[in-house]
Structure 1
């Protein structure tokens, strides 16, 4: 045997993806070696092509003309055959999803998933951006499942109408007609107040879609003859799918399946009515069984399943997935199958059929036979034996051939190529005979693997130039926002960087109604109740409004949960009103000139007691920071008759801030840090810095103890139910990378900012 003979190759890989990547590079090498070889001369087969279809599309579906390391195009035309029509066509899948809605819960994501298909969206004049806004509406008005209360009753469940499609769509419609202000009901419906201008046109299109969908699906409940079903399904198809040159082939395939129903009635003479479940089963089986007939011998590389009678000669035959567990395929005999229990000579054996298919593939290869299998564990790199057919083939070759100068053995090592775990392994670019790659991206990655690891450089190393002088005119609210996240303020306001832009997460659609009120839902509800309570509304009278919004569990549970929250809210409102009892004072305008800075703004929520801020939750560092900065400004502008104290109220705590004599000096220090932070990111992180300063100033701990407390907040908890660390903030990760920012600069900033705050702060529980 010629040592350079490559007519038979066997490739051992770690995963199906690596098999396809190795296949791709091998095909490029074959085209480079044989200028007469065409993509249509190559057949790639697998025991089940559906397993490999996503990997084939990921590797072969390259946009445009992608160059290789040699500068040539790497795009190879291909077609995948033997796929079921449903898996091949999003339109057929969407059509079956619509029919499957009958008898379902009409879950919010089920209904919206049909709109994700572009021909359906285009039929109703909707875009992807429109769909995202619709998803936002559905989440906001808390549609979960069910058409209405009657639909739920038909399922044997309580007929509550909350969180149904009817309740949610009524809120949208009424929101277009009249404002609700989250407190006024009309006929038991709470209007949705957040529709704007042109969004009403989108609402009309969405309502057209839902009305058409629900009417068509509910109509499927009537029994019909096969011919009537053919007409009904044709009408459904025409109502939801736009036909053009890109969708015509798939829609025609559906029309054939639907038309076949009427043909079967005419041929069989069966005129009885049948239920929709029979039609569902027929369509599912039809599209699973029938493909489009495309993908086979289309001029590109053909991918297909290994089937009998497919012994068509090709120059190159490539077999994927020749794994020990997968091929030859095992027959799964049923317990009552007596033929399998008592086999006789002449009975068909699936394993023997697969052996014959393997032999057919060998005989069909005119120039080259290439076989690949998963021969190494992706977890621990342990060896996995190939299919017994590969072992038998290698044994046969070993018995009949030998390499020049070698006696007994060595051929298997020559035929089998053992691939590496990653396609960017440097071994592929060392010029070796059996390991090679044409990927320029993988070459760059391989070079990076060989380079010594370096610490990630800071985003801003030398500092920015000072901002223009107009930045020295500072709004008080902007000063507060700066100290809430100095790095984020620098990136967003000074550099105009939005870390979220282009990475928006799709709105999450829930399909289960609330069984409790907790987390963010509870906080939002309680904040709304506090606001209404302070405006004079009795929180006990708002139950019907909250229930209509869909925030509560259904029935008595929701009523109980609501009225278990209101006592705490009323007590908190009463506490706030005690501080406001002396009567409100007029707001104060802020106009302070400090060390070249102009501090501007307004202070509201003033009473005879002083400045009052509140939040119905456990207070955080950002709440104390905001209170402190406003308190300093109050001490700078308050007339003699105004109090110079401030009060910060939390759910179970009250913090009093005493008058500050050196307010100007402290504000000057804060403004100076603000100015530095516009050019260099400050190592000030509100929650982490608060934990450090509190340990040092409030608890009298050493700096090492403060750093220990700060590190816990910075890193967060490893527990899956724990809070993420402050280090997860994108702006901190951009500015500081993986470096540890809890250094001397961090300690100094925390001490300077929070030290004076603690000196003027006195706290007590409200219980």
Structure 2
């Protein structure tokens, strides 16, 4: 950078002419601008461009002798030249193949695309051909000229080359001189000082940080050096001649190739630094290519040895960089012996994690640690690079925004990813050939550009989703749309079906239970819902109109009109998305312009135009956030070797890096390689070497090194393995290989907080969870004496548990607690909320009635047939609800459900015939806790509960708790018996009746025990699982088991009495085996162990592994405490 500044300080002949700086990435432009401003005080009038752009401008300024009189037409020539780029090649290729498909020379292409109905395969093939031809212009210019002039060329012996030569000849037939290959060769052969217009060219050009240039470009720049200064400022890893060095593997292959069988060290190649010899292939090729040109080095040695000039104690990183600079091979028994490394040296570290999310979490803690150790470290001193920023961006955003915020910016994302408007536009196009699933369509409303167009507020989206759910909209615009997909044209569950139900419900709210012209009105609510429905309907109508616009085949001009119309009628333009929509419009205009320049007028399908627009929006990379003053997250790109104090490489997995580039089989560059050809794999490996050299203080590497399913090891990228191997042989570690760490699966693992391992964490939330889980796992619930402290600036003692005051609860809260006490403890006690798993079946047509829908419909039948609609035919009504499968299957499911409901309907009619008592609200104070409940289902002979569902353990326990409360609180004139009616869980009877008798004084005793459990279970995990405990208690009490007093002892147990069931283990073992069906589950049910909160709580400490674990966990005592009184008072008929 100092050398570049010294060159730019020299005033050029024309000081008003901008300085031309050649770069390889836009990020380098920002860095150079900031550095030049710091060095010179100001940075202005700088023109940054890529090498290909410089070549284009030079060749445009070149005029062969016969064209010198046309200087006034320079601008027209430039416009003409700009046509032969990859985009114009693509449209020209599509046009020419369409026109000449019948020719024998293109038969191989015709065979590939003959069954391509949509034209998408043809489009993709033309894109590949255009990319390959564009590479030919740079790397095989002689070959293209020979093809064009119908001269023999060595590649024409290959049949694959013959159709390419034919196609290329047709492409350039109208203007044979208007392509890069011809203009460059013409320039090199006829260049002189008199036939180039320098009016628009600077007096010097500088290239900064270019990793590699094609040989053709170097030849052009060498010619230009005759009339101006061409300055190349290159990052060279070594100050010695390293262009012909070989790695140990390469020399081994040479030895085998020559069949000489000697040690590679005895070959004439010198054994040098293994990292440079292995990773530096791309750099060696470029620098050896430069040696063929005349150049001079005006500056003295610009190399700086990080060890000799640092003035600091040497670190692993500095030693590695110095060894690369001086071509040193460190190895035991060699001249340069391994270096002893201090135990505190973490300048190079590799971290293996279980997932990208864990990589981001580990990295955040590492960076927080660096900020704590170095107060002068600033966010802009850190860069984090990865092979694919798109794969990691969501995890980075979620982790770095949480808890301790670190300022960061993400660069190199696709335009589509950074713009919700562009992403929404592509989602609209994607719906053209889609099923129009409910989620697909409603997700469009998450875009502010679309929701704003219809004045839909964020809080109104919930109402729209609720409307779609209530109207049973699943997929399909209407029956006709389904027919186009090759399916029956039934209307149920379509958007038209749902909207008709919603509007009918608005017009006739009193008829939501009866058919109106074969439409069942949705139950509707007045007020805001009416306005929201109007917006919802306008959204759906406009969307379906847009999809109609996208139908059929059109010319490119018509397609561009259609795309612009959709962006206007469906997307709101505002100050947030104005630039994005302008970019979209420019992309569409560019598409139309390129097709017009190529003379392409054929009709194309929607699939082709959609693929092209998607390709363009994915192809444009946004770099506006690079070096924005924060921690920079970006892709690993050429010449990202800008010096930073801390350099991080994320996602360095074996399959992710070096990145794999798809090469078509017809690519002649790969089939017939030559020196100085580009190699994506070698370039990525050289990027890793440049990254290693750019780190000033620390290099951190993370990768997914363990499987999240089974913890098996996953290899890291080959370049990381080579670095680790070099470190192993170059250094002596006093306490083992501490630079390579394998992290636990969870961020709340106790290893991060016990201050004894190499791991640490700054997260207070994870520390709180680790402390709670340690308490859970401790024997008999005792608190183990471990110190858990988050590694942060606030290093206080662990939080003291606050005793929560419980002023009052409703009875339903108590019932919900006993359905899963462990889950309630994790959610309410520890504040651990795990998101519900989305039901993915809601957007699919109904093939069978789910358990929930069966319960809903069955309850509807029981309610209606018990009331005033006893003789009504309900099949048309339920069909109009959209809850039945299509056709005869739906009729069959209805009859099946009707037969199940019939016995319950008879029972319900019996209940309805009894006199109902007035509703009553009751409450009671139990040890300072006020419990309240409302009862509306009490009749003259007892409290009734009729359910279409099965009378399983959850319903029985709920009825039992309500029964106890009623017996305690109800007035004397109220009956105290409870009757539960429902389906038999064993399926032996159509209906079963369970009842609990009046309990008088015992009810208060039992209820107090439940309240004590509730109070305890909110502070500590209470091992009671509704179904498993039910099966266990039933089995154990059938064995005439006598557990002794049922009093619940909440005090700390005496160590001498830890196992009160020591003499009953055989009975407990048999009961445990019967209860395993509820714990582990089976084919038809999920075990309670699989509950997300339960599995997190018990983790690897399964209480059902042995009888001793079952007893010590408290499960035996807890199950009997809750269920023994219930079973003793339960009567089943």
Quick one: structure 1 residues 339 and 754, their matched pair in 2 at CA, closer, same or farther if it must change by over 3 Å? same
Per-residue deviation, 1:168: 0.8
Q: Which residue of 2 aligns with 1:276?
A: 606
Q: Which residue of 1 aligns with 2:488?
A: 158
Larger Rg: 2
Task: Supply the distance in 2 between the matched residues of 1:375 and 1:524 (Cα, whole angstroms).
Answer: 46
Quick one: structure 1 residues 464 and 534, their matched pair in 2 at CA, closer, same or farther if it must change by over 3 Å? same
Q: Which residue of 2 aligns with 1:4?
A: 314
Asked if structure 2 preserves the Cα contact closer than 8 Å seen for 1:490 and 1:678, the reply is: no
Q: Does 1:314 align with 2:636?
A: no
- For residue 895 of structure 2, the aligned residue among 563, 578, 593 is 563
1:65-101 per-position Cα deviation (integer Å, ceiling 9, x unaligned): 74xxxxxxxx3444422x2212333321111001111
Task: Supply the distance in 2 between the matched residues of 1:592 and 1:359 (Cα, whole angstroms).
Answer: 76
Q: Does 1:220 align with 2:541?
A: no
Task: Supply the distance in 2 between the matched residues of 1:37 and 1:462 (Cα, whole angstroms).
Answer: 38
Task: Supply the distance in 1 between the matched residues of 2:629 and 2:1025 (Cα, whole angstroms).
Answer: 61
Task: Supply the distance in 2 between the matched residues of 1:656 and 1:466 (Cα, whole angstroms).
Answer: 33
Quick one: structure 1 residues 385 and 415, their matched pair in 2 at CA, closer, same or farther if it must change by over 3 Å? same
Q: Does 1:520 align with 2:852?
A: yes
Map 1:339-418 → 2, pairs under 5 A: 340-345=670-675, 347-358=677-688, 360-361=690-691, 365=694, 367=696, 370=699, 372=701, 374=703, 377=706, 384=715, 387-388=718-719, 391=722, 409-410=730-731, 417-418=739-740
Per-residue deviation, 1:670: 1.6
Q: Does 1:145 align with 2:475?
A: yes
Q: Which residue of 2 aligns with 1:170?
A: 500
- For residue 681 of structure 1, the aligned residue among 1014, 1017, 1028 is 1014
Quick one: structure 1 residues 677 and 24, their matched pair in 2 at CA, closer, same or farther if it must change by over 3 Å? closer
Secondary structure at the aligned position of 1:541 is classed as coil
Q: Which residue of 1 aligns with 2:1003?
A: 670
Quick one: structure 1 residues 241 and 741, their matched pair in 2 at CA, closer, same or farther if it must change by over 3 Å? farther
More displaced 10-residue stretch of structure 1: 512-521 or 112-121: 112-121
Asked if structure 2 preserves the Cα contact closer than 8 Å seen for 1:46 and 1:305, the reply is: yes
More displaced 10-residue stretch of structure 1: 412-421 or 220-229: 412-421
Task: Supply the distance in 1 between the matched residues of 2:631 and 2:556 (Cα, whole angstroms).
Answer: 41
Task: Supply the distance in 1 between the matched residues of 2:978 and 2:568 (Cα, whole angstroms).
Answer: 71
Quick one: structure 1 residues 726 and 670, their matched pair in 2 at CA, closer, same or farther if it must change by over 3 Å? farther
1:418-445 per-position Cα deviation (integer Å, ceiling 9, x unaligned): 234157889989999x978784649957
More displaced 10-residue stretch of structure 1: 385-394 or 279-288: 385-394
Asked if structure 2 preserves the Cα contact closer than 8 Å seen for 1:714 and 1:727, the reply is: no
Q: Which residue of 2 aligns with 1:132?
A: 462
Q: Which residue of 2 aligns with 1:553?
A: 885
Per-residue deviation, 1:179: 2.8
Map 1:428-507 → 2, pairs under 5 A: 439=762, 441=764, 454=778, 484=815, 505=836
Quick one: structure 1 residues 270 and 35, their matched pair in 2 at CA, closer, same or farther if it must change by over 3 Å? same
Secondary structure at the aligned position of 1:615 is classed as strand
Asked if structure 1 preserves the Cα contact closer than 8 Å seen for 2:1028 and 2:1088, the reply is: no
Per-residue deviation, 1:125: 3.3
Per-residue deviation, 1:217: 1.8
Q: Does 1:233 align with 2:559?
A: no
Task: Supply the distance in 1 between the matched residues of 2:1090 and 2:666 (Cα, whole angstroms).
Answer: 62
1:144-179 per-position Cα deviation (integer Å, ceiling 9, x unaligned): 110001111122210000010110111111111113
- For residue 49 of structure 1, the aligned residue among 384, 389, 412 is 389
Quick one: structure 1 residues 698 and 441, their matched pair in 2 at CA, closer, same or farther if it must change by over 3 Å? closer
1:249-290 per-position Cα deviation (integer Å, ceiling 9, x unaligned): 333322221232343455445455543223211211101111
Q: Does 1:719 align with 2:1082?
A: yes
Per-residue deviation, 1:303: 3.9
1:183-235 per-position Cα deviation (integer Å, ceiling 9, x unaligned): 31111111111434322222222222212212222221154443443343233
More displaced 10-residue stretch of structure 1: 691-700 or 586-595: 586-595
Unaligned runs of 5+ in 1: 67-74, 399-407, 472-477, 492-496
Q: Does 1:117 align with 2:457?
A: no
Quick one: structure 1 residues 257 and 28, their matched pair in 2 at CA, closer, same or farther if it must change by over 3 Å? same
Per-residue deviation, 1:110: 0.5
Map 1:82-93 → 2, pairs under 5 A: 83-93=413-423
Task: Supply the distance in 2 between the matched residues of 1:249 and 1:163 (Cα, whole angstroms).
Answer: 39
Task: Supply the distance in 1 between the matched residues of 2:753 and 2:390 (Cα, whole angstroms).
Answer: 32
Task: Supply the distance in 2 between the matched residues of 1:55 and 1:656 (Cα, whole angstroms).
Answer: 52
1:299-337 per-position Cα deviation (integer Å, ceiling 9, x unaligned): 4454443444x3665355836255555444455554555
Number of residue pairs matched by the alignment: 713
Task: Supply the distance in 1 between the matched residues of 2:410 and 2:994 (Cα, whole angstroms).
Answer: 73
Per-residue deviation, 1:556: 1.6
Give TM-score scaled by structure 1 length: 0.74
Q: Which residue of 2 aligns with 1:207?
A: 537
Secondary structure at the aligned position of 2:350 is classed as strand
Please give the root-mean-square deviation of Cα atoms over the aligned residues, in Å.
5.7
Quick one: structure 1 residues 392 and 532, their matched pair in 2 at CA, closer, same or farther if it must change by over 3 Å? closer
Asked if structure 2 preserves the Cα contact closer than 8 Å seen for 1:317 and 1:370, the reply is: yes
1:386-407 per-position Cα deviation (integer Å, ceiling 9, x unaligned): 5348737975x99xxxxxxxxx
Task: Supply the distance in 2 between the matched residues of 1:592 and 1:428 (Cα, whole angstroms).
Answer: 50
Secondary structure at the aligned position of 1:716 is classed as helix
1:579-601 per-position Cα deviation (integer Å, ceiling 9, x unaligned): 479x6546478899999999996
Secondary structure at the aligned position of 2:509 is classed as coil
Task: Supply the distance in 2 between the matched residues of 1:748 and 1:416 (Cα, whole angstroms).
Answer: 52
Q: Which residue of 1 aligns with 2:1107?
A: none
Asked if structure 2 preserves the Cα contact closer than 8 Å seen for 1:490 and 1:677, the reply is: no
Quick one: structure 1 residues 240 and 416, their matched pair in 2 at CA, closer, same or farther if it must change by over 3 Å? farther
Asked if structure 1 preserves the Cα contact closer than 8 Å seen for 2:556 and 2:603, the reply is: yes
Quick one: structure 1 residues 606 and 181, their matched pair in 2 at CA, closer, same or farther if it must change by over 3 Å? farther
Unaligned runs of 5+ in 2: 1-306, 322-346, 784-800, 823-827, 985-989, 1016-1021, 1044-1063, 1104-1111
Task: Supply the distance in 2 between the matched residues of 1:440 and 1:745 (Cα, whole angstroms).
Answer: 35
Task: Supply the distance in 1 between the matched residues of 2:544 and 2:673 (Cα, whole angstroms).
Answer: 53
Per-residue deviation, 1:10: 3.5
Quick one: structure 1 residues 147 and 464, their matched pair in 2 at CA, closer, same or farther if it must change by over 3 Å? closer
Asked if structure 1 preserves the Cα contact closer than 8 Å seen for 2:750 and 2:770, the reply is: yes
Quick one: structure 1 residues 667 and 589, their matched pair in 2 at CA, closer, same or farther if it must change by over 3 Å? farther
Secondary structure at the aligned position of 1:419 is classed as strand
Secondary structure at the aligned position of 1:354 is classed as helix
Quick one: structure 1 residues 706 and 197, their matched pair in 2 at CA, closer, same or farther if it must change by over 3 Å? farther
Higher relative contact order (CA 8 A, sep 6+): 1
Asked if structure 2 preserves the Cα contact closer than 8 Å seen for 1:102 and 1:217, the reply is: yes
